[in-house]
Amino acid sequence: MKRIISEGIILAAAAAVSLPVSADTPGVKVEHLGVNNTLVRVDGDARYLLMPVQEANDDARINILVDGKLDRTMYVRLAKSKTDYMVPFDLTPYKGKNVVLNILTSQGRTSVREASNDACWSNFVLADTFDTANREKYRPAFHHTPLYGWMNDPNGMVYKDGVWTLCYQWNPYGSKWQNMTWGRSTSTDLVNWTHHDAAILPDGLGTIFSGSAVLDPKNTAGFGENAIVALYTSADASQIQSMAHSTDGGETFVKYAGNPVITLDSEARDPNMFWHEPTGQWVLMLAHALEHEMLVYTSPNLRDWTLRSAFGKGLGAQDGVWECPDLFELPVDGTDKKKWVLLCNLNPGGPFGGSATQYFVGDFDGAVFTPDLDAEGKVPTKWMDFGKDHYATVSFSDAPDNRRTVIGWMSNWQYAAEVPTMQFRSANTLPRDVSLFTGADGQLYLASAPSPEVDAMRGAVVKKAGKTSLSSKPREYRLPTANDGICEIDLDLAAKGAAQVTMTLSNAKGDKVVMTYDAAARTLAFDRRESGLVDFSQDFPAVTVAPVLGGNDKLSLRIFVDRSSVEVFGDDGQMAMTNLVFPQEPYTTLSVSAQGKADMASLAIYGLNPSK
Ligand code: FRU
């Protein structure tokens, strides 16, 4: 990924952990008021106050006082015994003003003296730069990641004038979930992303949870033709829905003075909107999280919303909470016939534990979603992806050429905060274009294929092979070494009869990912139990299994390897499987073998060159 630093953030040479140890950092005055309460006064013209973080600590509550008034509150795991990394608090908006941090730490102390020994107090730094140079070996090369800090769901995804905007749930003050803010990145090719300053910051109504954005070509909201209008959840003691708009393509968002625009007396979040042409109105889906249902609202103007129906109680996977809905119409099997697809993310309750995306296929009349039934007259449970690391997936609004392009969060709430990275946590999935196809059982299923833009990354073919017969003796192929081994592996398999074909990615450290295609069972299994670092969470080592829905014994695979993830797409996305891996060093070898009679009809291994 091209690393373009947002305006004003310049790379600094210093590593975040080499800190000046001084009780009186110039411009920072520390006064202890009690065992758990400290004032930090900031003086001078520096752009950033860099704050030392120790991840194992609890959050300190920091009230930012500007000229004596409470500006906002943030929660930061201030360092106690050692500093893991620094996070920047941007002082630009407060130039010429008096800034005081009123800090409440949660650690129980016996005395002020003990509290005053915390590492953080002498390690606040005033600086004009913040070092964002990547120092993480597991940071993906061709998947979107935040420049620093924690990320979860994709938000406010919209396409306008050739630019894809991807906002996201972001903690700018640490690499664990907190301080939810909409971060913002943009791209013209869905692969290389430019990082920008935060799009929407917490306010008196709460932190900024997930939501969506649309273009308003008819100016129904009154913010101007083609304004970008975003709806998000303001989350504090309750969850309410708020609106913001942008008339400069997403550069700046202005919050609606009449917020919130939707309130309920129970937990509801992640508003997702679209224009419904047949009824000439806006439709909004809202996750009624604990009720396991999606609420349907309509509006003429994006601010006055009427509740029309609820879908989902008792249907599909019902565990955990329902979150992040999306509803869109797709052609069936590339014909003129159309059906609606409701994405319904849930956590926990996924097929392999933790978070996952289920979906329903059906009809929608502008107010009510009616699901299709299976042969037994039941509403089937369907999964969009059969890995452990595909969540909060929703689509871009207004994508060109009638495309429906989705991006998910490539992690799982079971262990997202424990994965072995620190400067940043979490990446997005590859962008995928979705379509509907008829499975061998006659039902409609959602295919997720890598978006065409992904093909443009292909570099040199490092291996190409025609028809090759497979046996129990593995055939070995070298993977590319450039750029930490990032690659695409395309394989066409023809398993004759009851064969099992095994494809293994491995390295000299003994790390391996074992993928097994079972032609008789019509499944593909992905075993990451020995894939590298796995013991940071008991939920990480796993075998995930996908049904192969096509009606014959062939399977055509595209496998994308990017430093800490493997995404497997079968038969043009009819099967998708997304799994994180943390190999001690990049995988260097692909081995392919078979039990029973099988052919590899073709093989191509490409190096990838994302920023060409
Ligand atoms: C899903 C989710 C959303 C919520 C957001 C908070 O991962 O729980 O429902 O809006 O994350 O960060």
Which ligand 1 atom minimizes the distance to the CA of 169?
12
In the prediction, which pLDDT does 20 show? 35
Q: What is the CATH number of domain 456-608?
A: 2.60.120.560
How far is Cα of residue 549 from the mean position of the Cα atoms in its chain?
27
HSE of 4, CA atoms in CB hemisphere, 13 A: 14
Task: Look at residue 6 and tell me whether its pLDDT is greater than 70.
Answer: no
User: pTM of the prediction?
Assistant: 0.95
Find out whether 548 and 522 touch, Cβ atoms under 8 Å: yes
Query: Given pLDDT bands bounded at 50, 70 and 90, which one contains residue 24?
Result: low
In this prediction, what percent of the chain has a pLDDT beyond 70? 96
Query: Given pLDDT bands bounded at 50, 70 and 90, which one contains residue 612?
Result: low
Same topology between domain 3-127 and domain 149-418+426-450: no
Query: Given pLDDT bands bounded at 50, 70 and 90, which one contains residue 16?
Result: very low
- Which of 385, 400, 503, 499 shows the shortest CA–CA distance to 450? 385
Neighbours of 263 (CB within 10 A): 11
Residue with the bigger pLDDT between 446 and 17: it is 446
In the prediction, which pLDDT does 203 show? 95
Query: Given pLDDT bands bounded at 50, 70 and 90, which one contains residue 599?
Result: very high
For the Cβ of 392 lying below 6 angstroms from any atom of ligand 1, the answer is: yes
Q: What is the CATH number of domain 3-127?
A: 2.60.120
Query: Given pLDDT bands bounded at 50, 70 and 90, which one contains residue 551?
Result: low
Task: Look at residue 249 and tell me whether its pLDDT is greater than 90.
Answer: yes
Q: Ligand 1 mean position to 227 CA, how many Å?
A: 25
Out of 18-32, 300-314, 319-333, least confident range = 18-32
For the Cβ of 207 lying below 6 angstroms from any atom of ligand 1, the answer is: no
Query: Given pLDDT bands bounded at 50, 70 and 90, which one contains residue 107?
Result: confident
For the Cβ of 385 lying below 6 angstroms from any atom of ligand 1, the answer is: no
In the prediction, which pLDDT does 562 show? 98
Strands 424-425 and 149-160: parallel
Residue 62 one-letter amino acid: I
Stretch 98-110: mean pLDDT, rounded? 90
Task: Look at residue 291 and tell me whether its pLDDT is greater than 90.
Answer: yes
Q: Per residue in 129-154, is it b (16+ CB within 10 Å) or e — as a string? A: bbbbeeebebbbbbbbbbbbbbbbbb
Query: Given pLDDT bands bounded at 50, 70 and 90, which one contains residue 430?
Result: very high
Hey, where are the domains in the chain? Answer: 3-127, 149-418+426-450, 456-608
Out of 121-125, 214-218, 388-392, least confident range = 121-125
- Tell me the two tokens of residue 494: 């023809």
In the prediction, which pLDDT does 8 show? 34
Task: Look at residue 152 and tell me whether its pLDDT is greater than 50.
Answer: yes
Neighbours of 27 (CB within 10 A): 15
Q: Thinking of the domain 149-418+426-450, which architecture would CATH place it in?
A: 5 Propeller (2.115)
Give 96: exposed, middle or buried? Use CB within 10 Å, 0-12, 13-18, 19+: exposed
Q: Give the CA-trace dihedral at 591, 596, 599, 600, to 10 degrees.
A: -20
Residues classed as catalytic: 153
For the Cβ of 206 lying below 6 angstroms from any atom of ligand 1, the answer is: no
> Mean pLDDT, the chain, as a whole number?
94
What tens digit of pLDDT does each residue of 491-503 get? 999 988 778 999 9
Query: Given pLDDT bands bounded at 50, 70 and 90, which one contains residue 1?
Result: very low
Stretch 376-393: mean pLDDT, rounded? 97
What tens digit of pLDDT does each residue of 340-359 get? 999 999 999 999 999 999 99
Which ligand 1 atom minimizes the distance to the CA of 210?
10
